Amino acid sequence: MCQSSRQLLVAVHDVTPAHAKRLDRVFRLLTEFGVERYALLVVPNWHGTSQLEKHPEFVAGLRARQEQGAEVFLHGLRHDEHGAQRTLWQNVRTWGRTDREAEFLTLSEKEAGKRIERGLETLRACGLEPVGFVPPAWFHGRRSFELLHERGLDLTEDSLSVFSLAQGRGIRAPAIEWSTRKAWRAVAGVAIAAVRRPLESWRPLLRLVIHPTDMDVPSVVRSVRKTLESLLGSRRAVTYKEALTPR
């Protein structure tokens, strides 16, 4: 398969002023590799303590990246599960995958709709144009796709695939990502990425997920760099819209 037919989605998660310095490092790394077409997963009020609209310089930077080709996604309202109570089954579902950061996992349909609307209002008031929604930790709530479609959002994803709601179609797109929550998880993430780089090379579409906290661990930074170098050598970075446009 030639390089032009294989694609890469690069997504920067947890975009918030609370991670501004770490995000500067992420953006410099992407610029170094010539990647301008990536997704910005923006959290309007990170953990209830970092309101996007109160940081105009940070917002101006996001608008500039949007103008250069980046796509903006709403990534929850506050990202965490503050005040939420999980059921036993929800704890089973999330075991090992998130540390109380699946904001939409426990919400009622009504509350989820309210948070999506508030998040969209904030992004648009800041001059950002969201094209989709990605729930924190990829845990969608009840009727999530319907709620997004009703609010004019087309693009979303889960842990395995990306979706166009307007087209009613999804594409399998595994995500290579890292976790730095524990030292052993960082070590494991580096090892897994090294295995998956060649193992997943046959796939038409892959996702590369970068979290700001990845920049705190030198071994993870090196792994992200190696993965970018490897994947961009055999595929091109595209937007979600482009990836989901029938060819």
Confidence (pLDDT) at 98: 66
How far from 239 is each of 24, 40, 69, 132, 220, CA to CA, in Å?
21, 11, 8, 12, 24
CA angle 83, 48, 108 (to 5 degrees): 45
Whose structure tokens read 């990845």? 214
Q: How far apart are CA 222 and CA 110, in angstroms?
A: 43
How far from 59 is each of 20, 160, 189, 209, CA to CA, in Å?
10, 30, 31, 21
Percent of the chain at pLDDT above 70? 91
Confidence (pLDDT) at 92: 60
Confidence (pLDDT) at 2: 44
Confidence (pLDDT) at 104: 79
CB 171: neighbour CB atoms within 10 A?
16
Stated pTM of the model: 0.92
At 167 the three-state DSSP class reads coil
pLDDT tier, 95 (very low <50, low <70, confident <90, very high otherwise): low
Assess whether pLDDT exceeds 60 at residue 160: yes
Confidence (pLDDT) at 17: 98
Question: Looking at the chain, how many residues does it have?
Answer: 247
At 9 the three-state DSSP class reads strand
Q: Which contacts qualify for 146-154: CB closer than 8 Å, 24 or more apart?
A: 147/109, 147/112, 147/113, 147/116, 148/116, 151/113, 151/116, 151/117, 151/120, 153/74, 153/120
Assess whether pLDDT exceeds 90 at residue 87: no
**Structure tokens given for 73:** 């996604």
CA angle 167, 169, 171 (to 5 degrees): 135
Encoded amino acid at 231, one letter: L
Assess whether pLDDT exceeds 80 at residue 21: yes
Confidence (pLDDT) at 11: 98
Where do runs of H (alpha helix) occur along the chain? 20-32, 56-67, 88-94, 109-125, 144-150, 183-199, 218-232, 240-243
Confidence (pLDDT) at 218: 98
pLDDT tens per residue, range 194-207:
999 999 999 999 99
Q: Which of 229, 172, 155, 230 is nearest to 206 (CA)?
A: 172
Assess whether pLDDT exceeds 80 at residue 93: no
Percent of the chain at pLDDT above 90? 82
pLDDT tens per residue, range 31-78:
999 999 999 999 999 999 999 999 999 999 999 999 999 999 999 999
Q: Which domains does the chain have, with CATH numbers?
A: 3-243 (3.20.20.370)
H-helix or E-strand spanning residue 7: strand 7-15
pLDDT tens per residue, range 172-225:
999 999 999 899 999 999 999 999 999 999 999 999 999 999 999 999 999 999
What's the mean pLDDT in 97-108? Answer: 76
Confidence (pLDDT) at 141: 83
Assess whether pLDDT exceeds 60 at residue 3: no
